Amino acid sequence: MVDDATATYILENQRCFEDLKQVASQLAGLLVLAAAGSKEALPDHPALCAARELFREAGDALRSARPTERAGRHHAHLARAAALIAVALKESEGVLNVDRILIPLRAGYSELEQAADALPGFEKVSFSRACCGGAHA
Amino acid sequence: MNTAYSLWVMEYAAVPNYPQSGLIYGMHNQGTRKLPYCYVVIKGQGQIAMVDVGYNHKAHGEVLANTYGVRGWHSPREVLGEIGIQPEDISNIFITHSHFDHMGNIEDFPKATFYLQERELSKWVWTMSLHRKFRWLMLGIDPADIMRAVDLARQHRLVCVDGDREDVLPGIDLHAAFDTHTWGSMYVTVRNDLAPNSQSSWVFCGDLAYGYENLRGHDPADPEYIPIGLATGSQFNVIMTADEMVESVGGDVHRVIPPHEERLKDLYPSRITTAGLRITELALADGEKSQVK
Mean pLDDT by runs of 10 across the 293 residues of chain B is: 94 94 92 96 98 87 78 95 98 94 92 95 84 80 81 91 97 98 97 96 97 95 95 96 97 97 97 97 97 95
d(CA B157, CA B160): 10
Region at A45 (left for phi over 0; alpha for psi -120 to 50; beta for the rest): beta
Q: How far apart are CA B237 and CA B242, in angstroms?
A: 8
pTM for the model stands at 0.90
Q: Are strands B32-44 and B47-51 parallel, antiparallel or unpaired?
A: antiparallel
The arrangement of strands across the sheet holding B256-257 comes to B165-169, B172-178, B184-191, B201-204, B256-257
CB pairs under 8 A between A and B: 157
Give the closest-approach CA distance of B199 to chain A in angstroms.
33
Nearest chain A Cα distance for residue B283, angstroms: 27
Closest-CA distance of chain B to residue A102, Å: 8
Q: pLDDT tens digit string along A63-97?
A: 999 999 999 999 999 999 999 999 999 999 888 88
Between residues B20 and A126, which one has the greater pLDDT? B20
> What is the pLDDT at residue A136?
45
Question: Which residues does residue B49 pair with via DSSP β-bridges, in sequence order?
Answer: B42, B92
Residues of B in contact with A103 (CB under 8 A): none
pLDDT band of residue A129 (cuts 50, 70, 90) is low
pLDDT greater than 90 at residue A50: no
Interface of B with A in 170-199 (CB under 8 A): 181
- Lowest average pLDDT, out of A52-56, A121-125, B151-155, goes to A121-125
CA dist list (Å): A81 to A8, A64, A77, B3 = 21, 16, 6, 53
Q: Please give the sequence-ordered ranges of beta strands (E in DSSP) within A2-137, or none if there are none.
A: none
pLDDT for res A133 = 63
A35 near A73, Cβ under 8 Å?
no
Which residues does chain B have within 8 Å of residue A106's beta carbon, measured at their own beta carbons? 147
Angle value at C-alpha A13, between A8 and A17, nearest 5 degrees: 150
